[in-house]
Amino acid sequence: MKFTSLTDEAYIALTGLTDYASDMINPTLRLGVTGLSRAGKTVFITSLVHNLVNGGKLPMFAPLANKRIKKAFLQPQPDDDVPRFSYEQHLEALLGKDGRHWPSSTNRISQLRLTIEYEPEGFLARNLSSGVFNIDIVDYPGEWLLDLPLLDLTYQEWSQQALLATQKAPRDVIAKPWLDYLSTLDADADEDEQAVQEAAKLFTQYLTDCREDEYALSTVPPGRFIMPGDLAGSPLITFSPLDVSGSARRGSLHAMMERRYNSYVSRVVKPFFINHFSRLDRQIVLVDALAALNAGPEAVSDLKNALGDILKCFRPGNTTFINAILGKKIDRILFAATKADHLHHTSHDRLENILRYLVKDAMDRSDASGAMFDVVALSAIRATKEKVIEHDGEELPAIIGIPESGQKLGDDVYDGQEEIALFPGDLPENPNAVFAEEAPSQEPQENGFMKFRPPLAKKLDRGAGPESFPHIRLDKAMNFLFGDRLA
């Protein structure tokens, strides 16, 4: 990407070289975990840590399957200026004495250090390695990642892109209140704080509405507008695109919007890239593909574009000493379709193939980098079971779970206690079919938005022992992301 200056690149290279030298003494991997809102980042991290710390069932995670993991435990994180991932709080929500519920979503960057003591493979490795490995898990909202392309765009270019997007359905309908207000503004008029605030409020509402289940659109930068955190009410997130061209007149509404956009890019987006994103070794991108599939072809196409934008932000490549000097590379990237437990296992391959199809073009462009890419359908915590049910003389594959209180299906409203069976239907065999106007979807459609309560953590065996959460292919994801570093 072209947005960094020579000074920025020098800082990135120095930080990467420092991390590389530190890793030689104290082996550490910085794992980025991201995904767009409601993709399951918090649940993924909590289940990963809980299963490792408690020796969960992870048959596809080779180091544990080969009985080389001695123990895993949490340690104080290394970066004092980054909030700690609230593992214990999230775990309590999932196991809660006052009722199990899903933990709150990621709305800021956070970090957690997981340390693994293991037995290295081979005689030489056992004598040279300390057998201690740290995984620094860096959790951050995918909406922040979608902000990185703004570093390459001027205010005018960004405005043009944002306004052009509203010419297509369904954004044309969602954006109408904001666009109607913009039509009353004169960009060359004197700056007006009230006008800017109103435009920013309507623009933010448009971005928020784009993410509703009905539309499930993914490309909604700037990310901090819908996840403001401590920036709420700040001029840094009080601006809006305008239909402008040419230079802004000093003191004009155009100049005011442009100044705040540039401040957002330089003081919010750029520090995130330099201080956090550029230091990652490996990355998993969690994707709620089912929400897009149920919303229709426009949502699927928007998700494809968003995933392409996300991959453009990464610096894929081999991890070498030379790369450490030039700037750290991400050598493994995993795209994971979450909520696989909302489907019968016979459709998991199809879900995986659909996600692979959505990221194929972007991955093909990065093939020469030397990095490894993969795709998996998973559920970090499995909330349903499977059962074959006879219906009208026909055997149908069903999923069984407990809907959250207040969930509806047809005329039924559930109280959070009753277990129900659903027929999730089949995903299309041909991934390209998801872009068709009459794209096949899950049946009944309500299932795509059904929210099930978390399951009870179960004993690993019939005797006393640690508890672990059931999952689908969490171990496969772990093996790809860091299994090789425990060899």
Are both 293 and 255 inside the same structural domain?
no
Are both 350 and 482 inside the same structural domain?
yes
Question: Which of 247-256, 352-361, 425-434 is predicted least confidently?
Answer: 425-434
| pLDDT attached to residue 313 | 81
| pLDDT attached to residue 300 | 92
pLDDT digits (tens, 9 = 90+) for 59-96: 999 999 999 999 999 999 888 889 999 999 999 999 88
pLDDT digits (tens, 9 = 90+) for 289-336: 999 998 889 999 999 998 988 888 887 777 665 555 556 788 999 999
| pLDDT attached to residue 487 | 84
Are both 315 and 239 inside the same structural domain?
no
Average pLDDT across the chain, whole number:
86
pLDDT digits (tens, 9 = 90+) for 204-238: 999 999 998 888 898 888 988 988 878 888 999 99
Pairing of β 412-413 and β 408-409: antiparallel
Q: Helix, strand, coil % (nearest 5) of the chain? A: 45, 15, 40
CATH of the domain at 293: 3.40.50.300
User: Could you give the CA distance from residue 378 to residue 469 in angstroms, rounded to a whole number?
Assistant: 13
| pLDDT attached to residue 444 | 37
Give SS3 for 32.
Answer: strand
User: Could you give the CA distance from residue 181 to residue 406 in angstroms, rounded to a whole number?
Assistant: 37
Sorting pLDDT into bands at 50, 70 and 90, what band is 127? Answer: low
The CA–CA distances, whole Å, from 481 to 229, 308, 382, 406, 438 equal 30, 21, 20, 37, 37
The amino acid at residue 255 is A
Q: Give φ, ψ of 384 to 5 degrees.
A: -130, 165
Let me know if 167 is exposed, middle or buried by CB neighbors in 10 A (0-12, 13-18, 19+): exposed
The neighbour count for residue 169, using CB atoms within 10 Å, is: 11
Are both 95 and 169 inside the same structural domain?
no
Are both 20 and 101 inside the same structural domain?
yes
Are both 97 and 162 inside the same structural domain?
no
Q: Which run of H or of E encompasses 71? A: strand 69-75
Q: Domain tally for the chain?
A: 2
Quick check: 224 and 147 in contact, CB under 8 A?
yes
The predicted model gives 465-481 an average pLDDT of 89
| pLDDT attached to residue 315 | 77
Sorting pLDDT into bands at 50, 70 and 90, what band is 168? Answer: very high
Provide the residue range defining the domain that includes 50.
6-140+276-382+472-486
Sorting pLDDT into bands at 50, 70 and 90, what band is 422? Answer: confident
| pLDDT attached to residue 25 | 62
User: Could you give the CA distance from residue 78 to residue 479 in angstroms, rounded to a whole number?
Assistant: 24
Sorting pLDDT into bands at 50, 70 and 90, what band is 445? Answer: very low
User: Could you give the CA distance from residue 197 to residue 202 in angstroms, rounded to a whole number?
Assistant: 9
Residues in the chain: 487
Question: Which of 120-129, 143-152, 287-296, 357-366 is predicted least confidently?
Answer: 120-129
Q: Which residue bears the tokens 């890239």?
A: 273
Domain boundary among 267, 290, 306: 267
pLDDT digits (tens, 9 = 90+) for 137-160: 999 988 888 898 898 899 999 999
Domain-embedded: residue 204: yes
pLDDT > 70 fraction of the chain, expressed in percent and rounded: 86
Sorting pLDDT into bands at 50, 70 and 90, what band is 442? Answer: very low
Helices (H) and strands (E) in the chain, counts: 18, 14
Domain-embedded: residue 112: yes
Are both 153 and 136 inside the same structural domain?
no
Whole-model pTM: value is 0.88
Quick check: 441 and 448 in contact, CB under 8 A?
yes
